[in-house]
Structure 1
Amino acid sequence: MKEFDIIIIGGGLSGSSTALNLSKKGYSVLIIEKEASGNIKPCAGGMASSMKKYLPLDIDESIESKIRNVEFRWESSDNVVADLSGESPFWIIRREKLDRLLLDEAIKYGGEILRPVQVEKITQQNKTWIIKCNNKVTYKSKFLVIADGSQSRWAGYFNLGPRKPKFANTIALRLKGLGNIPKDSVRFEFGFVKYGFAWAFPLKDSVNIGLGTFINNKLLENKDLNNKVIKSFGFEDLSFKVVHKKLRIWNGLNKLNGDRVIAVGDAASLCDPFLAEGIRPSLMSSYFAAESIDECLSSNNNDLNNYSTNINNEWGKSMAWGKRIAQIFYRFPRTGYQLGVKRKTAPQRIAQILSGQMNYEDIAMRVIKRLLTKSKD
């Protein structure tokens, strides 16, 4: 039986970044990951450059594009463009590169990873976690981090996050070439996807394209609709493979820690309920999780409550307003586009939210009031 200070279930972005933050502090860390390595991850890849403060390493190798403006369109027309202020405030990263960088750096500092290995049973004895896996080996740790993504088996088991998680349904793909997407722009396409939107985020020589819906998850089964969206981004070759994924989006202020256990990233239901942003909360939660566990280990106590408090303060309060905006916007999307995007200052505000310069609370009251008033007309 091997023993570690921390065991992390899940080796994606949040799991790898948590492992790096902790292994760099000198703790023994084991990641248990169920998937084999090398998978392409065609998630949007958008990341506010301000998030580098949560990363203890240089990630330049994973940055594919530096975005200067954000485009909004309604069914391929009615264009609105917002310029991003400051020097490269928004990046497009290649997720598989970023995940590998984080993992390699964690291993350099002594972290270990098992893959592909499935966790089968978790118990606690005398303040120690006992993890049994399908490789017939048992592992022990003082603290446990749940980082197994939106389809987390263990977040609910430990009552971490919302009792009834809310999901957005998405499809994602990566196409060679840039289509009609400028190399320094991201595009949000509204109108085609009912109760949701589509997006195109450019890498160096390809584009990450996605469609997401927040209300009716069956809408993305319409192949003709999906092809229409892909064509709107300037692509004619429709012989692509898509990745289907359910995103566990933010659904209320909830406790994200228990006795010696913490949930991070998608497993903690932190994805933005309006724009489906997941990288920023993954990195933020990984950082605060490592800080909280470090404080416990260094002071010999078990109180992880400051983790939930920090996440709710730094992220959850803004998402509470983002959820309210989303509930109205996606039920009345055309009105939402006219009042929430086409207003003179609106696109710039959305761009500032993406780059981390503003949060939803800064704009919510005015936006909600306008949307409610217009929807009743």
Structure 2
Amino acid sequence: MSHYDVAVIGSGPAGTMAAYHLAKKGISVVILEKEMLPRYKTCGGGLVYRGRRRMPFDIESVVEREFKQINLYFTGDDKVLTSLRDVPVISMVMRDKFDKLLVEKAKGQGTEVKEGHKLTGITFGAISTLHTNQGDFQAKFIVAADGALSPTAKLAGWKETRKLIPALEYEVEVNAEDFARLSSEVRFDMDSVPHGYAWSFPKKNHLSLGIASTRRKKIDLKIYYKKYLEKLGIKEIIGEKAHGYQIPITPRTDGFHRNNVFLIGDAAGFADAVTAEGISNSLWSGELVAEAIFESGLNPEKAGRLYQQKLEKDLLPELHTSQTAARWFYGYRIIRNMLLKRYGDFAMSLMTDLYIGDRSYPKNLMKTIKGKIMEIKNPLM
């Protein structure tokens, strides 16, 4: 039976980044991946610059398109908010190619990768035994990077405390005329679904179109998707593949480590509540857990404390503020639109700064919002 210091479950951005940094420090790591690589991964595939700048290596070879400008549309309003930067605000990737590159970079540092190894159980102990459909492995640490559904978290005893929202994503091939028209911009269309938004992400030769609602109640996203196609003026679809999934937009409330298991990425619930973007925080959390394990001297108890401290320093406060922002943004549409009519350019610039990693969410968000409302009510203040 093979033994490792760390077993990472899942080969997405969170898991591969954790493995990369651990292996680089001389820690023995194995990635257990249930699929054979490369494999399709349901995702809009928009890597914001704050995530790209965290990458310790170049990813240009898998970037299909780059956009230095993003546009924000609102249903029933002709006003379009836009923001331009001198860096690629969003880089478009297909997750099969992107994730495969990350795996190869992790392997280059010494990580072993076991493809087609589905985790079926865990026997917990000081050295845990991970049971897969192709044999057993032993590891002192287990890093759960197996996505929103995270079987590893369930095996380790976590209950569901995250908020998971429904999303629908389509890979769409359109005619040449429509593609030429729609491939020139990244756009987000607010309120294209109640309490949510739609997006159009141009890839190399097709569009990734999606729609998500921040409400967990049952909703037929297909209806709103069809309306979005009409809004975009798409009349002919040459090819179309639909993928439904869930996005965890709140962190777990019952901790991120137990039984020598550490949760990162979507398994922990680290997607941004406003944008539902999760890749950048997945990369970040993978880096943080690697730091914690290394700095602990491979002491699980100490690693758990360090990981919690690192999360509480910046990542968790940002997520908590993004939750407040999301409640206002999607739950108070009239107030939001009133604020955006006056402060739309400022808000768009702020969000773009967040996307590119030049700033974080303001810690006094509620005070800022209330102050702006008072300015509108009392313009002479």
Secondary structure (helix, strand or coil) at the match of 1:361 reads coil
Deviation at 1:186, TM superposition (A): 1.9
The equivalences for 1:160-199 within 5 A come to 164-176=161-173, 178=179, 180-183=181-184, 185-199=185-199
Cα separation, 1, equivalents of 2:42 and 2:245: 11
TM-score calculated relative to the size of structure 2: 0.87
| Matched residue SS, 1:154 | helix
SS at match of 1:218: coil
Could you tell me which amino acid in structure 1 is paired with residue 172 of structure 2? Answer: L
Mean CA deviation greater in 201-210 or 312-321: 201-210
1:44–1:201 CA contact under 8 A, matched in 2: yes
Compared CA separation, residues 159 and 54, structure 1 to 2 (3 A):
farther
- CA 1:148/1:252 → structure 2, altered by over 3 Å: closer, same or farther? closer
Aligned-partner residue type, residue 175 of structure 1: V
Which residue number corresponds to residue 272 of structure 1? 272
Q: 1:360 to 1:6 in 2, by over 3 A?
A: same
Residue equivalent to 1:47: 47
Deviation at 1:176, TM superposition (A): 3.1
Instruction: Describe the shift of the 1:295–1:196 C-alpha distance in structure 2 as closer, same or farther (beyond 3 A).
Output: same
Structure 1: how far apart are the matches of 2:132 and 2:317?
37
* % identical aligned pairs: 26
Could you say what secondary structure the match of 1:352 adopts?
Answer: helix
* Matched letter for residue 236 of structure 1: K
Match of 1:350 in 2: 351
| 1:232 equivalent in alignment to 2:231 | yes
SS in 1 for 2:241: coil
TM-score by length of 1: 0.88
CA shift in 2, pair 1:333/1:340, >3 Å: same
Q: Distance in 1 between matches of 2:359 and 2:203?
A: 25
Helix, strand or coil: the match of 1:54? coil
Aligned equivalent of 1:147: 145
Partners in 2 of 1:248 and 1:169 — Cα distance?
9
Deviations along 1:70-95, one digit per CA (max 9) or x if unpaired, are 21112375232322334334423332
1:158 CA displacement: 3.2
For the residues of structure 2 that align with 1:333 and 1:180, how far apart are their CA atoms?
Answer: 30
| SS at 1:353 equivalent | helix
Residues 89 and 223 of structure 1: CA distance in aligned 2, closer, same or farther (over 3 Å): closer
Number of matched pairs: 369
Describe the SS at the equivalent of 1:242: strand
Q: Which runs of 5+ in 1 are unaligned?
A: none
Q: 1:138 aligns with which of 136, 140, 164?
A: 136
Q: Residues 118 and 311 of structure 1: is their aligned pair in 2 closer, same or farther, counting only changes over 3 Å?
A: same
Residue 31 in 1 paired to residue 25 in 2? no
Superposition RMSD in Å: 2.7
1:259–1:302: 8 Å Cα contact kept in structure 2? no
The change in CA–CA distance for 1:15 and 1:199 in structure 2 (over 3 A counts) is same
